[in-house]
Amino acid sequence: MRRIDYDKIAHLYDDPVRDHPLDEELVVFFREHPSLDPHRACVLDIGCGTGTQLAADRAVYGDMFAVGVDPSLGMLHIAHGRDPQVCWVQGGGEALPFRSRSFDYVCTQFCYHHIANKVAFIQEAFRVLTSQGRFVLWNLDPWSMDGWILYRFFPSARLLDRNDFLPTIALVDLLRTAGFATIRTEKNYLLSREDIRQFQTRAARRHHISQLMAISDEEYAQGLRQIDASIARGNPTGWTLDSETCLVRLVADKPDGHGSFP
C-alpha cells in the first residue's frame, strides 16, 4: 500500500518551506569533475515531486539535460508547469524507466521512505549512473530524532517512520553492496524550542506534514486532542516544548570501470 497518495494532495503540496535552492552537491560534483561540461551533463531527480530541485538547478545550469521521475502524475503536472524544458517522466524508483549508464548525477530528496523495495531502489540508482557518476540522497533521519514534537503528540508516526526509513548504517550497507564507493554521510541536527500553539496551527494543516498524512484519521484526531489538552492545561514556560529533528545526506560515487563520461 502507498504511504501517501500524492495525486490527491499535489495541488496543495507547493509551499515556500518546501522550495529547494540550487543543489550545492551538484556544484561540488561539477567542480570535482572538470572534464564534464555542466551544460552537457545528464541529471536525474528520483521522486522529483513538483520539480523545485531541478528548476533551481536549471536556473544556473540551463543547458544540462534534466530528468525528473515520479509515480504521481499530479505532481509531475505541476512540475511541468514549473519548467517545461525538463523531461518529466512517470515511474518509480524501484524500476527506473531508463537505460543503464544514462546519468552523470542522480539525486533524491525526501522520497526513499515511500519506496517499499529499498534494495531495488539503490541498485537502480547505481545502474543508471555513468562510471564516476554520483548519487546524492537527502532525507529526515527518524532514527536520530526521538525528541521531535510531532512524535510526542502523534506516536504512531514515529513507528511508521521507523518502518519506512532505514538507519543510516543500513543505507550505507545497501549502497556498498550495490557497488558504490567513497560513501560519505552527514547529519544535521536541529534542536529548538517549539511554541505548542504554533505547532497546533501547523498540525492542523495536515497535508503539509507527510507523517500526518501517513497515519490513520483516528490517530491524527487523537493527536490533535492531545495538543488541545496540553494547551488547555497551560504551561508555565510559555507553551514552549523542546523539539529535535535530524537531516541526513548521503553522497556515493560509482567507481571507475562501468562506462565513463562521454
Restricting to residues 112-131, name those near ligand SAM by CB under 6 A.
114-115
CB of 172 to ligand SAM, least distance (A): 20
Nearer to ligand SAM by C-beta: 71 or 155?
71
Stretch that binds ligand SAM, among 87-95, 147-155, 233-241, 246-254 (CB under 6 A): 87-95
Restricting to residues 33-72, name those near ligand SAM by CB under 6 A.
46-49, 52, 70-72
SS (H, E, C) 11-35: HHHCCHHHCCCCCHHHHHHHHHCCC
The residue sitting closest to ligand SAM, measured at its beta carbon, is: 49
Q: Is 54 exposed, middle or buried (0-12, 13-18, 19+ CB in 10 A)?
A: buried
The one-letter amino acid code at 161 reads D
CB of 90 to ligand SAM, least distance (A): 10
Nearer to ligand SAM by C-beta: 190 or 191?
190
Nearer to ligand SAM by C-beta: 48 or 122?
48
Q: How far apart are CA 26 and CA 65, in angstroms?
A: 13
Residue 259, C-alpha cell as written in the block: 562506462
Restricting to residues 200-239, name those near ligand SAM by CB under 6 A.
210
Q: Which residues contact 100 (CB under 8 A, 6 or more apart)?
A: 127, 128, 259
Q: Which residues contact 5 (CB under 8 A, 6 or more apart)?
A: none
Nearer to ligand SAM by C-beta: 130 or 210?
210
- Give the phi and the psi of residue 24 in degrees, each rounded to 5: -65, -30
Nearer to ligand SAM by C-beta: 113 or 152?
113
Gap between the terminal Cα atoms of the chain? 40
Nearer to ligand SAM by C-beta: 94 or 244?
94
Binding mask 146-165 for ligand SAM (x = CB under 6 A): --------------------
Grid-cell match 533521519, residue found: 141
E strand or H helix that includes residue 81: helix 73-82
Q: Which residues contact 177 (CB under 8 A, 6 or more apart)?
A: 122
Q: Does 98 bind ligand SAM (CB under 6 A)?
A: no
DSSP 8-state class, residue 187: E
Nearer to ligand SAM by C-beta: 105 or 239?
105
Q: Which residues bind ligand SAM (CB under 6 A)?
A: 6, 18, 46-49, 52, 70-72, 75, 92-94, 109-111, 114-115, 210
